[in-house]
Amino acid sequence: MAEHDLYHFEWATTDIEATRKFFEGLFDWEFTPWADNYMLFRTPSGLSGALALVDDLEPTVRPLLYFQVTELEPYMKKVKELGGDAVSDIQEAPELGKFAILSDPDGSFFGVFKPLEEGK
């Protein structure tokens, strides 16, 4: 996967089991539980997706798209220079990599994700 490609997306849901059943029936996706509030899946093309359990849906925040980058820090700085904002600090996704949530000048959220290097 190339830098700046869409890497992962999260679909917010208030009922993770009902949403899993819906998408399994609609698209024949296979889901893998990752945490109590998070369920991973891959689309047929290999794109990583997840169902994320939330208390309330916020249409301006979800779905949340993540773009692959090689380093996070430059994007944390550059987003502010371009009129956006860093919504979160850099966080770790255990065994997967690191990410941060950013926003564009209109306040729409998106993520940048740095996968772990293979073999590490």
| CATH code (residue 35) | 3.10.180.10
Q: How far apart are the first and last CA of the chain?
A: 18
Domain residues for the domain of 39 are 6-115
pLDDT band at 120 (very low <50, low <70, confident <90, very high): low
Mean of per-residue pLDDT scores for the chain: 88
Report d(CA 72, CA 114) in Å as an integer: 7
Report d(CA 43, CA 50) in Å as an integer: 10
| Single-letter amino acid code for the residue at 53 | L
Task: Please state the domain count of the chain.
Answer: 1
Residue 84 lies in a domain: yes
pLDDT, tens only, 7-41: 899 988 889 999 999 888 878 788 999 988 999 99
Residue 120 lies in a domain: no
Residue 18 lies in a domain: yes
Position 26 scores a pLDDT of 78
pLDDT, tens only, 61-80: 778 899 999 999 999 999 99
Q: Is residue 55 over pLDDT 60?
A: yes
Helical spans, DSSP H, in 1-120: 16-27, 73-81
Residue 103 lies in a domain: yes
